[in-house]
Structure 1
Amino acid sequence: MHHMNTDAINLAECLAAAEEAARRGAVKLEEWRKKFQVREKSRADLVTDADGASQQAIKDYLLGRFPDHFFLGEEEAVGKKIEETRPPAGAPPVWVVDPLDGTTNYVHDVPAYCVSIGLYVGGKSVVGVIYDPRLNEMFSAASGHGATLNGEPIKVSTVPGVRDALISTGFPANYAAQLRNLEAWRKVSYHSQALRRTGSTALNLAYVAAGRFDGYWCYDNYAWDVLAGAVLVAEAGGTITAGDGTPFDPFRMDLCASNGLIQSELLGVLNEPSQG
């Protein structure tokens, strides 16, 4: 199978399609959210329905537009480790989709959730769209095209040091995994201006791209949480790496993203030895 290079796909067309798909997914989320008032089903069942309806709308639209592309969403990856979700070398372009990022917020009607759609081609993340239906904010980027919010260019912040930085993180559901991040939270709180925990990985990355947050780190993600956001951060002039400072890989569980100016300092704080 010949290796698909990015020149063979029209990035602008893919970006426009991703935006439309994100809007279609969000319509489903908002339709289901209105049904939450009618408590015939448990919230857990409703969120499963909402998630599934959003993913189906996105998948139908994107594969309708690009029938030879692959699709990777949460449903395709049930029971798999993150590495097992990596597309094989030479695979066609893969849409990497989180139809509802910030599920717990959504269930409690906290307006911090979104649809995240990324495109992965020839081993590179090339398109990223994150749409927040409650604020009607469409964060959008493609490789070499820059990043925008509702069509206006966005850039990362110019905060020069961790001391003046607003930094966010995400905690995994699993308690044992939370303990590692609580230790990181303790270390970063000591050095930074303030920390946030919003409950949506994709929005955290979009906010770094938009200059709202100066940095973000996390240890337990899947590709659909981070791939679109990584494109946004890079195209907005920021820096994104794995948690140990090695090159970013969406099919690894850990990452650190920032405005670039605080990247090495933030990595240093995260990787300093814990006090016993």
Structure 2
Amino acid sequence: MSQDTSLNRDDRQAVLDLVRRAARTHLLDGGTQPADRKADGSWVTDTDHAMQADLRAGLAERFPEHGFLGEEMSVAEQEEAWRECLDGRPTWVVDPLDGTSNFRVGFPVFSVTVALLVGGKSVFGVVLDPCRDECFHAARGEGAWLNGEPLSLDDEPKQALESSLATVDFKRLPAEIATRLACEPPYASQRSIGSVALDWCWVATHRVQVYVHGKQKLWDYAAGQLILHEAGGASADLDGEIDYLDRPLEPLPRSAVAATHVELLEDWMDVLRAKA
């Protein structure tokens, strides 16, 4: 695969089928399950590892020349996979279970997220919500879809910030911003659903209009950010750096600010970056 080539239709469908098949096998039994804390404090279950193993094997069978970078790999393995990606090797970036904190206690909001990166840039992304049987995907420069139906924020009404529904992850925000949003909310109402990938997708579907998260990793946003942008949304980080699809993604944790359209993003950024 060259740096500017995406997947063909059959390859895309094969990836969608693989993600759905793995989710049916591992994620739909319900109930609670034991979990352990990782070094960074996040939760991991046997299901995280089983999902990653299935996805890795399926992708390797279909795309033997591609690399793989999964959340449950060691840091050394992730760093090597990222170096190979920047050197030109097409690389699958995978979070096998985004929302493990929800999953482990039976709270039915979690997802599987898979993105293909070429030269560090997302060219194809999938986010599956198995509990609602919703499969989001996007191809760079071609659009975004939900269960095969096109997603376009151009078709949605442009809302003002004060009438918007927001998803906010207070836990990872700077204390000053979190306190200000809690005490003086600039939006109509706020939610936190516990799956970063679905946060991005729910902005792409206009279910929420603005979003902020203080610290997410490459596998959390590689697919969701592409889906939002291909649907017509906009995003940046808390420093005001606007996201563009032609710019390589960041391997280190980063903040994320998103909105359904550019003007709303600007208003949202003004609030978030205002000094007390």
How high is the TM-score relative to the length of structure 1? Answer: 0.84
1:117 to 109, 114, 118: 114
Structure 2 equivalent of residue 92 of structure 1: 89
Structure 1 equivalent of residue 264 of structure 2: 262
- How big is the shift at 1:165? 0.7
Indicate how the Cα distance of structure 1 residues 147 and 27 shifts in structure 2: closer, same or farther if over 3 A, else same.
same
- How big is the shift at 1:124? 1.4
* Contact 2:257–2:269 (8 Å) recurs in 1: yes
Q: Percent of pairs identical after alignment?
A: 32
Code of the residue aligned with 1:258 in structure 2: it is A
Structure 1 equivalent of residue 158 of structure 2: 159
Distance 1:181 1:32 in 2: 39
Distance 1:53 1:32 in 2: 14
- How big is the shift at 1:32? 5.7
Alignment partner of 1:10 is 2:7: yes
- How big is the shift at 1:16? 2.0
Structure 2 equivalent of residue 253 of structure 1: 254
- How big is the shift at 1:160? 3.1
Structure 2 equivalent of residue 231 of structure 1: 226
Code of the residue aligned with 2:132 in structure 1: it is L
Indicate how the Cα distance of structure 1 residues 160 and 30 shifts in structure 2: closer, same or farther if over 3 A, else same.
closer
Code of the residue aligned with 2:34 in structure 1: it is S
* Contact 1:218–1:256 (8 Å) recurs in 2: yes
* Contact 1:102–1:113 (8 Å) recurs in 2: yes
Structure 2 equivalent of residue 56 of structure 1: 53
1:42 to 26, 34, 41: 34
* Contact 1:155–1:211 (8 Å) recurs in 2: no
* Contact 1:24–1:54 (8 Å) recurs in 2: no
Task: Give the SS at the match of 2:208.
Answer: coil
2:182 to 183, 186, 205: 186
Code of the residue aligned with 1:170 in structure 2: it is D
Distance 1:144 1:120 in 2: 14
Task: Give the SS at the match of 2:207.
Answer: coil
* Contact 2:92–2:114 (8 Å) recurs in 1: yes
* Contact 1:226–1:250 (8 Å) recurs in 2: no
- How big is the shift at 1:44? 4.0
Task: Give the SS at the match of 2:72.
Answer: helix
- How big is the shift at 1:19? 1.2
1:212 to 185, 207, 212: 207
Code of the residue aligned with 2:238 in structure 1: it is G
Task: Give the SS at the match of 1:220.
Answer: strand
Code of the residue aligned with 1:218 in structure 2: it is H
* Contact 1:209–1:238 (8 Å) recurs in 2: yes
* Contact 2:177–2:272 (8 Å) recurs in 1: no
In structure 1, the gaps of 5 or more residues are none
Code of the residue aligned with 1:259 in structure 2: it is T
- How big is the shift at 1:33? 3.8
Structure 1 equivalent of residue 62 of structure 2: 65
Code of the residue aligned with 1:238 in structure 2: it is G
Structure 2 equivalent of residue 244 of structure 1: 239
- How big is the shift at 1:4? 4.0
Structure 1 equivalent of residue 273 of structure 2: 271
Structure 2 equivalent of residue 145 of structure 1: 142
Distance 2:79 2:229 in 1: 23
Distance 1:83 1:217 in 2: 27
Code of the residue aligned with 1:120 in structure 2: it is L
In structure 2, the gaps of 5 or more residues are 38-42, 244-248
